[in-house]
Structures are given as structure tokens and as C-alpha cells.
Amino acid sequence: MNGEIIKLKYLAEEIQAEISNKMVQIGTTIKMACVMVGDDQASLSYINGIKKNSEKLGIITDIINLPSDISELELVAQIIQLDKDDSYSGIIIQMPLPKHINKNEIASIIDFRKDIDGVSPYNQGLLFSGRSFMIPATAWAVDIALVRLARERNIQLAGKKALILGRSVTVGKPAFHLLLQRDITPTIAHTKSLNVEELAQDADIIVACCGVAEMVNDTWVKPGAIILDVGINSKFNAEGKSIMCGDVHTQFTADAGAIVTAVPGGIGTLTSSLLYANCLKGYFLINKNESIVFDFEV
């Protein structure tokens, strides 16, 4: 069986087009706030990218940069202020936070209607119960991409076995519940799991979100398996140049007959757009008391 390396730009463009159409219907700009504590350059580059791309869609992103020595109480007060300000439809707390700040406590403060990262206990609980509102964008991207790839290839997802490599609250754990809602049988593997390669060989679907460059290779997969590569890593090529790669060896797994999403150009292309989709969901619930469903998530 021939494998495939899948670029998801076409799907990202569909999502962006639907968001743009919703923005036209609203007829006004909406705002989101991105709170960054400290001056981590990688984080700053990431949120500047969010700001640039959001404003192309008519979503204003305010970056609120706070000093790294801010107290937890002061940060809580800042978030409560944003919660109360209905001009904002979304709030992102950029990670990492300084060690003296409890990230779980901070996540619990965010108004669930504005929690566009989907990390508050309330939104996590809704996802767990099968009544999700705001889903963490990367896990949501995995779900949307999987459904589209299966539909395009006439693959029935119900009853399939999936392996999720990683147990983070933003990808691994929410992906588990999303797959379960598709009648898939998911398993999570983590750093303490045994015989992970054997688990992978038996899986019809692999979600790679472990943060280890090209860990999943041709010996891990079976022909026809769908592999969703969430990883963003770097490695040196034969010329000594640093290049981006995922948690999956794309070419080796495709040569083994798997259907694998590309890095770059795969799951990551959907993630920022889904943050903006969550922001729109927040806007409609806050301002119109409506819960909206996008065509791309059906």
C-alpha cells in the first residue's frame, strides 16, 4: 500500500474563509488579549505571529506584557479585570509562566467564555462530559484533520484503535476525549509507558505529541495507519543546517504505507485559525447569548 504525506493548507484556508465570513456577518472588529509574563523571545515571537494573523481577519489582539517578578495575586487581578471587560472575547495566558506562579490556579480564573486555549477546569470538564465549548486548538486541529482525512478516503473511524503519544492538557488528554467521542478506542502512552512501539504497531491512528524529534519511524507503523504529527522540533540536515521536523519521521513512515501529516505544513497550519474560531465562539456567547457551530467542525 502506498503511503501519503499530507499538507493541510487547503483545510486551513477553508477554516479561515469561514471565520472571515462570520466576521463579515458580525460587521465589527472583536478583541482578544494575550497576557505574557516576562520576556521569553520564543513566546514573544509566537504571540506576535498570532497578533499579525488575527488582524488580517479583523480580530484585534492586545499583547499585555507583564514583568517576570509580578506576584500571583497581581496576575490574578489582571485576569479578573480582563474577565469583566466585555470588549474582550478571548484571553490567552502565554506559557511558560514563572515558577512562582501556579499555572493551574491561573487557568481556573479565566472566564470560560473567553478561555480560547480551552485550559480552564470548566472547559476541560465540558470536553470530558462530551459537551465541549472551547477545545484546545491543537487537539481540535487533530480531530478536524482526522475526520477530513478519513472522509476523503472513505475510512470508517468508529471502532478504530488509536495511540496518543503524550498526555498534556492541551493536546494528549483532550485528544483522548475527542477520539472517544468518535467511537474510536484510544490509548495514551507517556514517559512511563512500556512497549510503546508495540502499541504503535497495532494502532490504526497515531497522534504524535511527545516532543521527541522523529521518534515514530517506519518500524512503528502499519500500512494504512493515519498519523497526525503535532510535534515541532528542529534537527540538523546533511549540510549542517537547522530544519524543522515533527515527532514522526515523515518519509520513512510514508514509505511504510502510512498516511502522515507533514511538518511543517500540517497540524500547525490549523492551530492559530482555531484560536480565532474560539474567539468568535466567545464573542457570540458574550454578546448574543448564542452558541455557534462552524461548518468545518461538523
Phi and psi at 37, nearest 5°, equal -105, 120
DSSP run (H or E) holding 64: strand 59-66
pLDDT at site 237: 84
d(CA 27, CA 29): 7
Helix (H, G, I), strand (E, B) or coil at 70: coil
End residue of a domain, out of 67, 97, 112: 112
83 with 142, same domain?
Answer: no
Per-residue pLDDT of the chain (298 residues; tens, 9 = 90+): 689 999 999 999 999 999 999 999 999 999 999 999 998 888 888 899 999 999 999 999 999 999 999 999 999 999 999 999 999 999 999 999 999 999 999 999 999 999 999 999 999 999 999 999 999 999 999 999 999 999 999 999 999 999 999 999 999 999 999 999 999 999 999 999 999 999 999 999 999 999 999 999 999 999 999 999 999 998 888 888 888 999 999 999 999 999 999 999 999 999 999 999 999 999 999 999 999 999 999 7
pLDDT at site 298: 78
DSSP run (H or E) holding 4: strand 4-6
160 with 255, same domain?
Answer: yes
Total domains in the fold of the chain: 2
Q: Any idea what DSSP says for residue 115?
A: B
Q: Is residue 146 part of a domain?
A: yes
141 with 254, same domain?
Answer: yes
Do residues 103 and 79 lie in contact, with contact meaning Cβ atoms separated by under 8 Å?
A: no
Sequence length of the chain is 298
Q: Is residue 34 part of a domain?
A: yes
140 with 233, same domain?
Answer: yes
Q: Which domain holds residue 260?
A: 136-269
173 with 206, same domain?
Answer: yes
Query: For the domain that residue 192 is a member of, what is the CATH number?
Result: 3.40.50.720
Cell 518519509 locates to 251
pLDDT at site 85: 97
d(CA 68, CA 74): 12
End residue of a domain, out of 97, 112, 127: 112
d(CA 144, CA 119): 19
177 with 215, same domain?
Answer: yes
DSSP run (H or E) holding 199: helix 196-201
pLDDT at site 264: 94
200 with 155, same domain?
Answer: yes
157 with 43, same domain?
Answer: no
pLDDT at site 283: 97
- Closest CA relative to residue 192, chosen from 174, 219, 210, 169: 210
Query: For the domain that residue 104 is a member of, what is the CATH number?
Result: 3.40.50.10860
pLDDT at site 40: 85
Q: What is the pTM of this model?
A: 0.94
Q: Is residue 81 part of a domain?
A: yes
Do residues 178 and 131 lie in contact, with contact meaning Cβ atoms separated by under 8 Å?
A: no
Q: Is residue 280 part of a domain?
A: no
Inter-CA distances, 261 with 26, 33, 41, 123, Å: 34, 31, 28, 27
d(CA 176, CA 197): 19
